[in-house]
A = this chain, B = another copy of it.
Amino acid sequence: MRELIKERGSVYCNAGAWEKFKAQLETIQPSKLFVLTDSNTRKNCLPHFLQNASLSIHHEIIEIPAGEIHKNINTCEKVWNILSSKGADRNSLLINLGGGVVTDLGGFVASTFKRGIEFINIPTSLLAMVDASVGGKNGVDLGMLKNQIGVIRNPLCVLVDTHFLQTLPANQITSGFAEMLKHGLIHSQAYWNSVQSFSITDINKAEQLIWESIEIKNSVVTEDPTEKGIRKTLNYGHTLGHAIESYCLEHKHKNSLLHGEAIAIGMILANYISFRILGFPEEKMEQINQQLIGYYSKEEFNEEDIKAIIELLVYDKKNSHGKVYFVLLQDIGLHKVDCEVPNDIIFEAFEFYKNLKSA
């Protein structure tokens, strides 16, 4: 059985996981039970959940609209009001059934309702499984700025059932895959190599690679839960990636990118910057970026776009005292946090990206 046992936020994956979930419910005996879904997961994931959870206590389904654009305080207010009107109390339990938007928003709603009720996360997207499932980060966006409002608080437990991945569209799989690739870059050549063979149709291999990804993330957040040091490495590719994601979300003339699609571009740029600033081996950098561009379609950024994206960097949560800090790599698995990067190197990285040949 695959499980990570922790004081809070234990992760259970596949075989035996639903039994662990049921045992948790038995232990805490919630006064009321609420299941948060979005319009997609209510349709595609709720039946599988209900079938396996075989709930013996009354439960209410709460549905929010699907999509990052609804991950805001306004949606939280709606959910708080529903919890309140349905009589949720401090011993009620919220189960978040969905992708990162549902688990991030639901975790924040639970952490702040009556100063904190228990919640369980059941990630249904690949991204949420390998990224949002451990670490306890939750929150919502503030305008176009991602995850500006939130707290760090672990769920009671996390249940990963890779069966849910069967309901995901292909681009959502590719999006989640970006975080697995990132775990390869920050962790080891070995995982980077093995993750290249990830395929959602090879269930056993997929489960194995997903689990390794969860373990990598877990080891990092356990060492540094409050992001003073090594946890910052999980932001590899995210400094520019987040800014690109925000910019494309706000600007109608740009293709709207999924999180992982933006992070993949952010990683290509970060790889180049790592080569320029920390001497990441050039040949290896080129090869990795060729692999990355093979998975993700190329986007175009003109000078105006790039300037606006750089302006967004100051809102990055890692920054301080008005400076923008990057996580960079000297080599695969050899990271350095809090690196300052001059703007002209960022422009150069975009130029490098522009000249990359897509697969």
Contacts and interface: CB of A to CB of B under 8 A. Distances in A.
B115 A139 contact: yes
A115 B151 contact: yes
A143 B85 CA distance: 11
Most B CB within 10 A of own CB, among A116, A149, A315: A149
Interface residues of A, number: 37
A249 interface: no
B77 A73 contact: yes
A29 to B, nearest CB: 9
Copies assembled: 2
B152 A115 contact: yes
Contacts of A320: 31, 89-91
Given A114-B148, A116-B151, A317-B115, A142 B80 contact: yes
B149 A321 contact: no
Interface in A24-59: 31
B115 A150 contact: yes
A148 B112 CA distance: 8
B112 A137 contact: no
Contacts of A84: 142-143, 145, 148, 315
Given A80-B148, A81-B143, A112-B149, 5 more contacts: A89-B319, A91-B321, A112-B139, A112-B151, A115-B147
